[in-house]
Structure 1
Amino acid sequence: MAKKVTLDQEECIGCQSCVEICPEVFGFADEAEKAFVIEGSDGDNPCAEEAAAACPVACIEVE
């Protein structure tokens, strides 16, 4: 079963580290100054877990 990636936008501080590490899975909303999970992205991508581990506020979950 494919892994699901979630990002709590209320907790996101907009550092963009996830976008830099894994642009295939994460995007950045300039207006909201928050990251988001790209719809239809592959949660099995190894960089998704790397991005979750790098998040300074731990608002990304890969399950």
Structure 2
Amino acid sequence: MIVEVNQEDCMGCESCPAFCPEVFRMTNDGLAEVYATPVPSECEEAAREAVQGCPAHCISIEE
């Protein structure tokens, strides 16, 4: 599974690293980024929750 954050749409709410800190983190400029790709299999469910919980709907999944 590959996840991507569209930083142009990211509002820096920090919800994705709250759901899945093993995959997402915040950059120095306050936007989310993916740092573990592909997503480790044991983190896939948490990554999906991060996608669903994103209020900006800026995270995409490629299976």
TM-score category of the 2 structures, normalised to the smaller one: 0.7 to 0.9
Q: Shift of the alpha carbon at 1:43? A: 5.8
- C-alpha separation between the residues in 1 aligned to 2:9 and 2:40? 20
Q: Normalising by the residue count of structure 1, what TM-score does the alignment of the two structures yield? A: 0.85
Secondary structure of the corresponding residue to residue 15 of structure 1: coil
Percent identity between matched residues is 38
Aligned residue-pair number: 60
Gaps of 5+ in 1: none
- C-alpha separation between the residues in 1 aligned to 2:59 and 2:25? 13
Q: Does 1:40 align with 2:47?
A: no
- Name the aligned partner's letter for residue 48 of structure 1: A
Over aligned residue pairs, what C-alpha RMSD do you find?
1.5
Gaps of 5+ in 2: none
